[in-house]
């Protein structure tokens, strides 16, 4: 039998800081059988569109009937009815802005949400906007199985992840600068406002993100449940270096279950104006205007689903309780902060930036921040986090500095340049 192979030439313009004018060019040899499998998977997740919107940044947004979205293909959701009754919001007034522009002396607002909104077209009522996945997206991944998934990585309990603990950086290539609650608490959600930047990424299979983690289960086992939301720059996943709104979930420590955004069945979207995986615009600039997004994830006390809010009372969608084991009950820990992948592609530490690419000590307008850290308790009430711990595995490359004041509550600055113009980073 003859074997047929196709060669795909991908050109990805990333605008990386170390080679800003270059594009990343590479080829793939793909067998016809593998190509068929890829296309079958794309046909499964790219549902028929009622309307298609072309974004100015190159994204294709498909407006899909909410009852035909990928989430409902999950075997645990075959009989699931999309929650129509609005969830009960936690008892605290939310911000009135989706994206806030902050300056030193005042707070100004602009109406920007996501880049695909700029042409004025919106998805019709009863549909949800879904960023279309392409064959090029799949080809950038290591394999079809890995497409849309975080790399499986070993995580140590936070009370062991100190300077004298086993080196989690060399174990899995992921580095963090995070704040976290104490272990074994009863937590039903979390909220924070996150500064948005466009950090530079050194190589295509690295990423930089800033997010909230809602966690329960064993950190050093195979049953960790995690719900995650924030913004990320991931050339491998999206083909560019734009910061994008993202979600993630897993019930088995990132082994097989879950995925980013809507790239597998699970997360049910209910909002017709926000596209998960689409670019956020505008972004912050060094010593200039600062932009941030507010993200809330909490467990609906009536039906038990984990809802995501973006900005004020804008509901994006929810993770059905049927997806989870430990999180079907409650969370036991929350983390807020940044994460990068250090692939050591050039036999040294990556220059991929975290946050703004500046260390925490530089402060407002220069370093990236999380502000107004809050958790949801068993009474569905939001309260400011008072006791947090912080962790940065490699403070010569990325660090974190927490504080408190009346306006920002519990907050922190975080990030760093990696090895970029930073000889102290090994």
Which residues carry out catalysis? 228, 339
Residues whose CB is less than 8 angstroms from the CB of residue 195 and which lie 6 or more positions away in sequence, other chains included: 210, 284, 290, 291, 292, 355, 356, 368, 369, 370, 371
Q: What is d(CA 279, CA 273) in angstroms, rounded to the nearest whole number?
A: 13
Query: 282: cis peptide before it, omega within 30°?
Result: yes
Output DSSP code: residue 353: -
Contact 60, 133 (CB under 8 A): no
Task: Identify the residue whose tokens are 């990343």.
Answer: 24
Contact 397, 418 (CB under 8 A): yes
CA 312 to chain centre: 19
Q: Count of residues for the chain?
A: 426
Taking Cα atoms as reference points, which of 356, 384, 405 lies closest to residue 177?
356
């Amino acid at each position: 039998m003859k074997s047929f192979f196709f060669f795909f030439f991908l050109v990805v313009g990333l605008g990386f800081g170390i080679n800003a004018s270059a594009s990343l060019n590479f080829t793939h040899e793909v067998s016809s059988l593998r190509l068929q499998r890829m296309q079958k998977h794309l046909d499964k997740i790219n549902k028929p569109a009622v309307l298609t919107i072309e974004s100015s940044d190159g994204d294709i947004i498909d407006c899909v009937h909410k009852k035909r979205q990928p989430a409902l293909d999950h075997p645990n959701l075959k009989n699931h009815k999309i929650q129509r009754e609005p969830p009960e919001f936690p008892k605290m007034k939310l911000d009135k802005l989706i994206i806030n522009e902050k300056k030193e002396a005042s707070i100004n607002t602009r109406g920007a949400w996501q880049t695909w909104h700029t042409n004025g077209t919106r998805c019709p009522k009863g549909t949800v906007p879904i960023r279309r996945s392409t064959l090029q997206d799949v080809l950038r991944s290591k394999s079809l199985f890995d497409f849309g998934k975080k790399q499986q990585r070993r995580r140590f309990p936070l009370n062991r992840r100190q300077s004298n603990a086993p080196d989690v950086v060399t174990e899995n290539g992921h580095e963090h600068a995070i704040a976290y609650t104490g272990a074994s608490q009863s937590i039903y959600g979390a909220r924070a406002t996150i500064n948005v930047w466009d950090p530079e990424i050194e190589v295509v299979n690295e990423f930089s993100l800033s997010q909230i983690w809602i966690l329960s289960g064993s950190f050093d086992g195979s049953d960790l449940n995690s719900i995650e939301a924030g913004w990320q720059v991931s050339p491998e996943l999206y083909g560019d270096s734009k910061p994008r709104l993202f979600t993630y979930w897993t019930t088995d420590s990132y082994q097989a279950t879950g995925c980013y955004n809507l790239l597998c069945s699970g997360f049910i979207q209910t909002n017709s104006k926000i596209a998960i995986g689409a670019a956020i615009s505008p972004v912050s600039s060094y010593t200039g205007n600062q932009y941030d997004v507010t993200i809330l994830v909490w467990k609906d006390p009536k039906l038990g689903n984990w809802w995501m809010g973006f900005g004020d009372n804008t509901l994006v969608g929810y993770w059905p309780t049927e997806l989870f084991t430990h999180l079907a009950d409650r969370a036991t820990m929350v983390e807020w902060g940044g994460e990068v992948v250090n692939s050591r592609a050039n036999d040294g530490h990556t220059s991929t930036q975290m946050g703004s690419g500046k260390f925490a000590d530089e402060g407002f307008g220069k370093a990236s921040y999380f502000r107004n850290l809050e958790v949801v308790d068993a009474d569905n009430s939001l309260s400011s986090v008072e006791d947090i711990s912080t962790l940065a595995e490699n403070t010569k490359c990325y660090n974190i500095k927490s504080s408190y004041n009346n306006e920002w509550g519990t907050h922190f600055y975080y990030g760093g340049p990696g090895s970029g113009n930073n000889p102290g980073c090994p």
